[in-house]
């Protein structure tokens, strides 16, 4: 990948390589440029598409001037607001869908997102340990089970809490594993203890 100039101070940005993501960071002002979907990886306070839900057409005032996208020639970035609820303003390029965050804005974003999920439901986790990226999320959703009564089958909504965890390795383990999605009938059987 070719070097890009920081939209804030025009210094050469350096690529930060982590097991699950590569992004550009300015060594001088510590701003970061994230390609499409990379903000969703690093914004871990809550689950969901932080990028898509932060993009709007409103005019947002920012302490920083309008900036040019470091990847798209002669394209101006627009100011967008974190989930439209905070004072955190990002620079967003509608052409390449990249985000520029000033120093400290990623940490501030994660703090604000954690405040939104104080009950620890729909929360994400990400950390780097010994060269491995560990990710996890707690998700609460509504599922349905069928209850029988008086000869009538009635669907009943139940809350289900899931915890998903992932480990990103810096290199392939060559295990040749295949993942298959569970069939709906197998999931349905789990509700009644038939499949475990």
Asked whether residue 196 carries a pLDDT value surpassing 60, the answer given is: no
Mean residue pLDDT of the chain comes to: 80
pLDDT of residue 1: 47
* pTM for the structure as a whole: 0.68
What's the CA gap between 190 and 138, in Å, rounded?
A: 20
Please check whether residue 124 is in contact with residue 106, taking contact to mean a CB–CB distance below 8 angstroms: no
**At 24, is the pLDDT very low, low, confident or very high (cuts 50, 70, 90)?**
very high
Q: How far is CA 129 from CA 12, 18, 161, in A?
A: 28, 11, 26
Residue 108 pLDDT more than 80? yes
Q: Which of 163, 168, 172 is nearest to 129 (CA)?
A: 168
Report pLDDT for 141: 66
Number of neighbours of residue 81 by Cβ within 10 angstroms? 18
Q: Kindly tell me if the per-residue pLDDT of 26 is higher than 90.
A: yes
29 phi-psi bin (left φ>0, alpha ψ -120 to 50, beta other): alpha
Calculate what percentage of the chain has a pLDDT beyond 90. 29
């Amino acid at each position: 990948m070719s070097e890009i100039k920081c939209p804030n101070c025009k210094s050469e940005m350096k690529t930060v390589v982590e097991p699950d993501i590569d992004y550009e960071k300015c060594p001088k002002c510590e701003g970061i440029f994230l390609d499409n979907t990379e903000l969703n990886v690093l914004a871990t306070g809550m689950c969901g598409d932080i990028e898509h839900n932060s993009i709007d057409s409103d005019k947002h005032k920012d302490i920083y001037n309008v900036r040019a996208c470091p990847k798209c020639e002669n394209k101006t970035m627009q100011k967008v607001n974190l989930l439209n609820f905070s004072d955190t303003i990002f620079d967003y390029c509608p052409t390449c869908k990249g985000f520029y965050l000033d120093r400290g804005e990623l940490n501030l974003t994660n703090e604000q997102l954690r405040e939104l999920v104080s009950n620890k439901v729909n929360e994400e986790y990400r950390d780097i340990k010994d060269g491995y990226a560990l990710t996890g999320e707690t998700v609460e959703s509504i599922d349905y089970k069928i209850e029988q009564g008086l000869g009538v089958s009635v669907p009943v909504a139940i809350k289900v809490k899931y915890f998903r965890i992932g480990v990103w390795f810096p290199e392939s383990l060559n295990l040749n594993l295949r993942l298959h999605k569970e069939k709906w009938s197998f999931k349905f059987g789990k509700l009644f203890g038939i499949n475990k």
